[in-house]
A and B are shown apart, each in its own frame.
Chain A
Amino acid sequence: MKYGERSLPAILNRSFARFRILPHQEVQGACDRVLSRLRNEVERDPAAVVPIRLVAPSRLRWRRLAIAAAAAVVILAVLSVRPRTGLDATVEMAEGQAYRTGADSGAMLSLPDNSRVEMRSQSDLALERADDGLRIQLSKGSVIVNAPARRAGQLYVRTKDLTVAITGTVFLVDAEEAGSRVAVIQGNVRVQHGAMETNLTQNEQLVSNPSMKSAPVSEEIAWSQNIDIHLDQLQQSRKTIEERCGASDMRTVWHDNGGFNLRLPLTIWRNYKCQHERDAQMRTKPSEN
């Protein structure tokens, strides 16, 4: 058996499955036996027993209730101006609406063209109309967009310093204080940063500020509820790249036309062996903007 990214969750699930269905009587019987032995232990040596007091002071409970009530007031205030979101249900996005996730909850949103947008906790975005389609304005936090191949209209994700134009693809956009990050899980995106524009393909990522650190794409998306699916997609992407360009050789490349080690605004982690092929494509294909 091979323990790939794909098979390990399945092995873990299968391996633990038979313990999940342990008969209740068997478990209860075992616990009763242990409890009986503990009782005997107390009978045998009562002096060795330290009395316990379970901590459930009512004062602490009231304080927690007061904090929860205060939090609820704040949440209600937010929900009154923003649609409610939750990961268990997919929320249909509406043009002109803003969406915000809380400190410990993500959300899954959908667009009319079946694109899915997974929001990380503590993220803020709005859906706006663009000249030729729709635009997700991400002001804070992270999203993973899963967009089918587009038949009509464009879809963009815009942060404060860059715009990502989407074709059929799965990718992450992260809006941080220091700048923005785009990481492609599957397919391609076109990223515009000021006057510069570059294509980014699967497994590659880009940051708009060279001081931003980068981890592998798999780690950048670890917060997703669909991490297993995305790891699968990344693995398929890696295979595709390796078939085309040979073994993966991801390196840091400062912006394409700047050459190496020039501190230009975009920093790209890309497959070095594929770079020349892509550059040639870029030269022959005029910009669509």
Chain B
Amino acid sequence: MPLQSEFEELFREHSQMLYRTAYSLLDNGADAEDVLQTIFLRLLRGGLPRDFERNPKGYLYRAAVNLSLDTIRARKRQESADPQRFEVPTESIQSTEETHGRLAEALAELDPESTQIIVLKYLHSYKDADIARILGTSRGAIAMRLLRSRSRLKELMRALEEKQ
């Protein structure tokens, strides 16, 4: 039985944005593929939920961010269970990758809605009005949320830096 043409159409329309979203949070292509596969497998087996019908792009995007954050949290749990495996070099170099790792960890501690907004703003370069459309809220609410999220994110990153 071939994959339904509507399903393929849906996949082709959104897969690249979802993959980039997952990749930017996980910094790992294989994990990003897993996220993409999980999102569409759920739709394949469970059909389209009501939220999806109202706003397909928003639904899929939220799913990509939330699943990526779940993966980051799972990595962290694994890391604390087996600290040797993820030992950080003693002479730590402040690289972009390192900062991004810390940023991803901090984003996983933020509430998912805030992370969704931050990724749309700073990865996909959407304007506040476009973010509001995708997430189904007002531009004012996005601006306020963004301001508070950045403030919280700053605290989280400082705390992570001090811990390391």
Q: Which residues of A contact B (CB under 8 A)?
A: 1, 3-5, 8-9, 11-16, 18-20, 22, 26-28, 30-31, 33-35, 37-39, 41-43, 46, 48-55, 104-105, 121, 218-219, 222-225, 227
Contacts and interface: CB of A to CB of B under 8 A. Distances in A.
Contacts of A53: 6, 48
A138 to B, nearest CB: 18
A269 B31 CA distance: 50
Nearest to A46: B1
Contacts of B84: none
A46 B158 CA distance: 50
Given A1-B161, A16-B24, A50-B44, 4 more contacts: A31-B19, A34-B33, A34-B40, A50-B46
A5 B147 CA distance: 10
Contacts of B96: 14-15, 18
Nearest to B133: A104
Contact of B143 (A31, A35, A227): A227
- Chain A interface, DSSP helix/strand/loop, else mixed: helix
Contacts of A13: 122
Contact of A8 (B125, B139, B148, B150): B150
A20 B20 CA distance: 8
Given A46-B1, A223-B140, A104 B44 contact: no
B20 A27 contact: yes
Contacts of A9: 122, 150
12 contacts: A1-B99, A11-B103, A12-B118, A19-B23, A22-B23, A31-B15, A34-B19, A37-B37, A43-B1, A48-B44, A55-B48, A222-B144
B141 to A, nearest CB: 10
A35 B8 contact: yes
B88 to A, nearest CB: 16
A3 B157 contact: yes
- Chain B interface, DSSP helix/strand/loop, else mixed: helix
A105 B44 CA distance: 38
Interface in B95-135: 96, 99-100, 103, 118-119, 121-125, 128-129, 132
B104 to A, nearest CB: 9
Contacts of A22: 20, 23
B6 A49 contact: no
A30 B20 CA distance: 10
Given A31-B36, A33-B33, A219-B147, A39 B2 contact: yes
B20 A19 contact: yes
B138 interface: yes
B156 to A, nearest CB: 9
Nearest to A14: B96
Contact of A42 (B33, B44, B119): B44
B24 A218 contact: no
Given A3-B157, A219-B144, A223-B143, A38 B32 contact: no
B136 to A, nearest CB: 13
B47 interface: yes
Nearest to A122: B140
Contacts of B123: 16, 19-20
Contacts of A222: 140, 143-144, 146-147
B139 A223 contact: yes
Contacts of A46: 1
Contacts of A11: 99, 103, 157
Contacts of B121: 12
A131 B3 CA distance: 74
Contacts of B24: 16, 19
Interface string B24-65: 100001001100110011011111100001000000000000
